[in-house]
Each structure stands twice: as structure tokens, then as C-alpha cells.
Amino acid sequence: MAAPKTRDRVLESSLELFNVRGVSSVTTAEIARTVGINEGNLYYYFQKKEQLVTALFDAFEAEIRVTAAGDLADPTNPAEYIGYLRGWFATAWRYRFVQRDSAALFEMAPALRERAAAMIADAEAASRRVLGQVIEAGLLTVEPDMLEPLLANVWIVSSHWIDHLALRRHGRELGPADLDWGFRQVLALFLPYLSEELRGWMSSPAAPFASISEARV
Amino acid sequence: MAAPKTRDRVLESSLELFNVRGVSSVTTAEIARTVGINEGNLYYYFQKKEQLVTALFDAFEAEIRVTAAGDLADPTNPAEYIGYLRGWFATAWRYRFVQRDSAALFEMAPALRERAAAMIADAEAASRRVLGQVIEAGLLTVEPDMLEPLLANVWIVSSHWIDHLALRRHGRELGPADLDWGFRQVLALFLPYLSEELRGWMSSPAAPFASISEARV
DNA sequence: GTCTATATATAGATAGAC
DNA sequence: GTCTATCTATATATAGAC
């Protein structure tokens, strides 16, 4: 296969740097150095740092919208809903720079504010719909009053478990095992609402608890 | 009473600015302008921006440790535990700049990383102890396996509901009514574990759901 | 304790040769 | 498409008068 184009390597390196150290702490000089190109060359592809950030947001949004559009072929199969959740979770991880320090992000690229708000509204609608299917299928028992708070907490924990764990880890880099921790935190939000049947399944070897670290993250 | 000293006004204004726009986006020039003093004067009190940030962290840590040291006089009284939770919640709100963008914070003041890790460890131990009292008293029924995930999610939601809501609000400033929303999100984490007795009490007029906005925040 | 004026460093961005 | 050299703006920080 062809060697990755410079533009793509810039995006890849920037994503990693932004995720780890935050959008505002990473300089264009550092990005160029990491990619192994000159700073002038970087500006050939992205005339403003804002454009770089926006291009990464584009990718994030596209991935979120694919996930949102997804549907459960068989809502009675718990593995499918867990897979669906894992999709959200993996995307939130891959583009965690968006959530972390969103204030600085929007200050750098103000146009993203509206786009992010629209995106999250659509994403919430999608997850509301899918959760509805799962409840309909009898896997979960959630009183109507609890639906919205539950959805919001799922989003919050999926997006922000990283900061919490990084703090406890004294800033050590997070690895695959930590991803498992995060995903379990999300699943923990659902545990009290499991039907009896599902409760048994969750503790069976078939439950794909630990396999998040094997997914593309 | 005496007019507030300049140093205190600097701290107050900085806290507000950092909370709203993030540590790395706020400049010393902007702080001085907000306080109504000259930039040179600002540097008379804090020779480095890092010292300013550290002083605010000191206040945060002190407040957290006071809250952590607190105990429930009567663990069978649900209002007391809710008050305890509200204490955590209010502090997390007042110093939300610490959680939001913690990467940039630690890059600016590396010494805070270790302190924050130690502080959160103590805080977790404290909330673990108090939650234990409440469970002992029969107000909540939490399986031992769920205790740690629950505590972690309480911390995550308490610290990060703001970013989530700000996104949905299209960046509008958050107000007291939004604080209620956040606190309800935290309480929602506990709702599935309520004893029957407590469940009734929660829906009674005595339940101090809405009064978080009257607290000092 | 507060101000004015100045210094230093560096991040973001451009021009033009190759 | 990539590099070298350079420019501009500005954030942090200091010196010294008042």
C-alpha cells in the first residue's frame, strides 16, 4: 500500500498530541516536529491552526454520525446493544480532545460551537431511540422519568472518565486496561436496570466485557 | 467591613475567568483588566501565573478537605446525606477550572499533579466511608461490587456535567437552574439503589432537590 | 502598593527559493 | 510539496519611578 500522505500524517499526529496534552498546549512547531516535517510545510496544508482542529472535528463528527445512524438488527440480543455502546465509547476515546477542554477548543474555532451542539442533539436522539428499542425488547427496565438522566450520564461518563482516571493514575499514560475500566464505568450505569434474564447473561463468559481493548481505539 | 484587598480581588476574578474560559485561554492582561488594576501590579502579588493558579488550587484543596472531614451526625436522616453530597457538588462547581482542562493546568503547574492525586485519594476514602454509613443505616442497598463504580461515577458526573450541559446550551452561560440540573444528574446515580422508605421520602415536598441553587456556589 | 515603560520569549503565520 | 528565513503579534515577566 502507498505510504500515508503528509496531510494524513499531520492529522494523525495532531490528534494524538491534542488528545494527550490538550489543544491549547500543543504548538504547531511541536506538531511539525512530531510528523518529521518543517513548520512551513505544515502551513502548506493548514494555513491556520483552527483549520487543523476543524479537520479533526470533521472526522469526529462523521464517525459520530455513522454510529448514530446505526441500528440494532435484533434488539433482544444484549451483545448487540453492548456493541452499540462500545461504538460510542470508542469514538469518544479516539477524539477525546474534543470533550476535554472544549472551552479552549471553541475559543480557537468558534464555528465549532454550533456544529457541536447540533451534533450532540442528533446523537442524543439516536441513542434515545436505540435505548427505547432495548427497553421495548425487555432487556432493561427503566422508568420513563429516568430515561433522560440515564442517557445524559452515559454521555458524561463516556466522555470524561479519562480525566478522572488520569488524575488517579498521577498522570501516567493510559493504556488498554484503562479503557476496560472506563467501559465498565459506563456499563455500571445500566446494571441497576437490567432484567433478571440479562443479569444472568452479563456474568456469563459470553459477556464481552473485556474486549473493548481489542476494538479499534 | 473593610474593602476586599487587591490580592483577594485578583484571586476572585481569576477564579471566575478560569472557570468560564479555561486556565490557558485567560491572559494575565485580561485578569488585570478585570480586576481594574495594572498588569505590573498583578505581578507584585503573583510573580508567575503558576503561583496564581497554585493559590487557587490551595483554596480548592482546603475546601475539599473540610468537606471530606465532615461526618453524618445521623446517618439515618436522608437529608443529611443529600446535604453532604451537595457540599461536594458545590465545591466542584466553585473550582470547576481544576477539572476542566486538567491537562493544561498540570502543564502550567506541574507540582499540582501529585497534590491533586493525593487529594482525590483522600476524598474518595472519605466519600467511601460516608456512603458506607448510609448503606449501614439502610437508606441505600448497594451490592459491594457496585460500590466503587458508583463512587467513581458520582465524582465524574459531579465534576463534568458542566461541559456536557454547556455544549447542549450552545455555550450560553450557565445559571442557578442549570446547577439544579447537574445535582439531579448526581442524584440520579443513586436513585436505583434507594430503599423503599427513602424512595417515598424523595418524592415528598421535604426532599431538598431544588435548593442547591440557594447554596453558596 | 500601584503605575509606566520595557524586555524576553515564543506561538502563529508568511514569502520565496528549491 | 518541502524547505529556509523572516515577520508579527502577544503573553509572560521585569525595572524602576511615583
What nine digits make up the cell of A199?
Answer: 443479569
Q: How far is the CA of A18 from the C1' of C12 (A)?
A: 17
Q: Measured CA to C1', what is the nucleotide nearest A49?
A: C12
Residues A159, A97: Cα–Cα separation, whole Å: 10
Residues A103, B103: C-beta atoms closer than 8 Å: no
Same domain membership, residue A108 and residue A40 = no
pLDDT recorded at residue B216:
43
Residues A188, B164: C-beta atoms closer than 8 Å: no
**Chain B partners of A153 at a C-beta cutoff of 8 Å?**
153, 157, 185, 188-189
B120 near A171, Cβ under 8 Å? no
- The count of structural domains within chain A is 2
pLDDT recorded at residue B210:
41
Give, as one character, the DSSP assignment of residue A139: S
Q: What is the CATH number of the domain that holds B36?
A: 1.10.10.60
**For residue B139, which phi and psi values (nearest 5 degrees)?**
-80, -35
Higher pLDDT among residues A87 and B198, named by residue: A87
Instruction: Give A87-99 pLDDT, tens digit per residue.
Output: 999 999 999 999 9
pLDDT recorded at residue A192:
96
Same domain membership, residue B101 and residue B29 = no
Same domain membership, residue B136 and residue B41 = no
In a domain, B213, yes or no: no
**Chain B partners of A117 at a C-beta cutoff of 8 Å?**
167-171
Residues β-bridged to residue B140: B194
pLDDT recorded at residue A208:
56
pLDDT band at residue A170, thresholds of 50, 70 and 90?
confident
Closest Cα in chain B to A164: B156
Residues β-bridged to residue B128: none
Same domain membership, residue B146 and residue B68 = yes
Residue reference for cell 452479563:
A202
Of A160, A169, A192, the CB nearest to B192: A192
Q: What is the CATH number of the domain that holds B161?
A: 1.10.357.10
Same domain membership, residue B81 and residue B21 = no
pLDDT recorded at residue B95:
97
A146 near A162, Cβ under 8 Å? no
Residues A164, B157: C-beta atoms closer than 8 Å: no
Instruction: Give A89-136 pLDDT, tens digit per residue.
Output: 999 999 999 998 899 999 999 999 999 999 999 999 999 999 999 999
Q: What is the mean pLDDT of residues A21-49?
A: 98
Protein-proximal nucleotides of chain D (any atom < 7 Å from a CB): 1-5, 10-16
Whether residue B215 has pLDDT greater than 70: no
Is pTM beyond 0.85 here? yes
Of A22, A113, A152, the CB nearest to B171: A113
pLDDT recorded at residue A56:
98
Show residues, CB within 7 A, near nucleic chain D: A 6-7, 37-41, 44; B 27-29, 39-40, 43, 47-50
The distance between the two most distant Cα atoms of chain A, rounded to a whole number of Å, is: 61
Of A168, A169, A185, the CB nearest to B149: A185
pLDDT recorded at residue B172:
83
Range of the domain at A36: 1-47
Instruction: Tell me what the pLDDT averaged over chain B comes to.
Output: 92
Beta carbons within 10 angstroms of residue B214's beta carbon: 10
Residues B34, B118: Cα–Cα separation, whole Å: 33
